[in-house]
Structure 1
Amino acid sequence: MFKEQVLGWMEAAERQIEGKTKEIDRLIDRNQWKVIRAFQKHKVSDYHFAGSTGYGYNDRGRELLDLVYADVFGAESALVRPHFVSGTHTIGTALFGVLRPGDELLMITGRPYDTLHKVIGKPGDGSGSLQDWGIGYGEVALLEDGTPDYGEIARSITPRTRVIGIQRSRGYSWRPSFTVAQIGEMVKFVKEIKPDLIVFVDNCYGEFTELTEPTEVGVDLMAGSLIKNPGGGLAPTGGYITGKREYVDKAAYRLTAPGIGGEVGAMLGTTRAIYQGLFLAPHLVGQAVKGSVFAASVFERLGFTTHPRWNDPRTDLIQALKFTGPEHLIAFVQGIQQAAAVDSHVVPEPWDMPGYEHPVIMAAGTFIQGGSLELSADAPIREPYIAYMQGGLTYSHCKMGVLTALQNMLDRGLLPAD
Structure 2
Amino acid sequence: MKRWDGNWESLAEAAERKASARLAETDTIAERNQWKVLEAFRKRKVSDFHFAASTGYGYNDRGREVLDEVYADVFGAEAALVRPHLVSGTHTIGTALFGVLRPGDEILFVTGRPYDTLHKVIGKPGDGTGSLADWGIRSKEVPLTAAGAVDWDAVAAAVTGRTRVFAIQRSRGYDWRPSFTVGEIAEMAERLKRLKPDAIVFADNCYGEFTEEREPTEVGVDLIAGSLIKNPGGGLATSGGYIAGRKELVELAAYRLTAPGIGGEVGAMLGTTRLIFQGLFLAPHLVGQAVKGSIFAASVFEELGFETHPGWRDPRTDLIQAVRFDSAAHLIAFVQAIQKAAAVDAHVVPEPWDMPGYESPVIMAAGTFVQGGSLELSADAPIREPYIAFMQGGLTFAHVKFAVRQALLDLKQQDLL
The AA in structure 1 aligned to 2:44 is H
Corresponding position of 1:402: 404
Residue 291 of structure 2 corresponds to residue 258 of structure 1: no
Corresponding position of 1:138: 140
Structure 2 residue runs of 5 or longer lacking an equivalent are none
CA contact (8 A) 2:110 2:150 kept: yes
Of 154, 159, 169 in structure 2, the residue corresponding to residue 157 of structure 1 is 159
Quote the Cα distance in structure 2 between the aligned partners of 1:59 and 1:343.
Answer: 37
Quote the Cα distance in structure 2 between the aligned partners of 1:341 and 1:98.
Answer: 41
Quote the Cα distance in structure 1 between the aligned partners of 2:68 and 2:229.
Answer: 17
* Residue-by-residue CA offset, 1:339-396 (whole Å, 9 max, x unaligned): 0000000000100000000000000000000000000000000000000000000000
Aligned with 2:244: secondary structure?
Answer: strand
Quote the Cα distance in structure 1 between the aligned partners of 2:208 and 2:68.
Answer: 19
Misfit runs of 4+, over 3 Å: none
Of 374, 378, 381 in structure 1, the residue corresponding to residue 383 of structure 2 is 381
Quote the Cα distance in structure 2 between the aligned partners of 1:362 and 1:7.
Answer: 28
User: Mean Cα displacement is larger for which, 281-290 or 183-192?
Assistant: 183-192
Instruction: Report how far residue 4 of structure 1 moved.
Output: 5.1
Quote the Cα distance in structure 2 between the aligned partners of 1:12 and 1:85.
Answer: 41
Quote the Cα distance in structure 1 between the aligned partners of 2:225 and 2:195.
Answer: 24
Corresponding position of 1:233: 235
Residue 372 of structure 2 corresponds to residue 370 of structure 1: yes
* Residue-by-residue CA offset, 1:141-167 (whole Å, 9 max, x unaligned): 000000000010011010000000000
Aligned with 1:105: secondary structure?
Answer: strand
Structure 1 residue runs of 5 or longer lacking an equivalent are none
CA contact (8 A) 2:170 2:181 kept: yes
CA contact (8 A) 2:6 2:409 kept: no
RMSD over aligned CA atoms reads 0.9
Corresponding position of 1:148: 150
Quote the Cα distance in structure 2 between the aligned partners of 1:75 and 1:294.
Answer: 33
Corresponding position of 2:351: 349
Alignment of 1:250-399 (within 5 A): 250-399=252-401
Instruction: Report how far residue 7 of structure 1 moved.
Output: 2.6
Aligned with 2:7: secondary structure?
Answer: helix
CA contact (8 A) 2:96 2:243 kept: yes
* Residue-by-residue CA offset, 1:94-142 (whole Å, 9 max, x unaligned): 0000000000010000000000000000000000000000001100000
* Residue-by-residue CA offset, 1:2-60 (whole Å, 9 max, x unaligned): x9522322121111111211111111110000000000000000000001000000000
How many correspondences in the alignment? 414
Quote the Cα distance in structure 2 between the aligned partners of 1:349 and 1:8.
Answer: 32
Quote the Cα distance in structure 1 between the aligned partners of 2:196 and 2:362.
Answer: 39
Instruction: Report how far residue 265 of structure 1 moved.
Output: 0.3
CA contact (8 A) 2:110 2:167 kept: yes
The AA in structure 2 aligned to 1:182 is E
TM-score by structure 1 length? 0.98
TM-score by structure 2 length? 0.98
The AA in structure 2 aligned to 1:183 is I
Quote the Cα distance in structure 2 between the aligned partners of 1:221 and 1:203.
Answer: 10
Quote the Cα distance in structure 2 between the aligned partners of 1:212 and 1:11.
Answer: 31
The AA in structure 1 aligned to 2:101 is L
Quote the Cα distance in structure 1 between the aligned partners of 2:150 and 2:390.
Answer: 22
Residue 51 of structure 2 corresponds to residue 49 of structure 1: yes
Corresponding position of 2:210: 208
The AA in structure 2 aligned to 1:216 is E
Of 84, 87, 90 in structure 2, the residue corresponding to residue 88 of structure 1 is 90
Quote the Cα distance in structure 2 between the aligned partners of 1:288 and 1:393.
Answer: 6
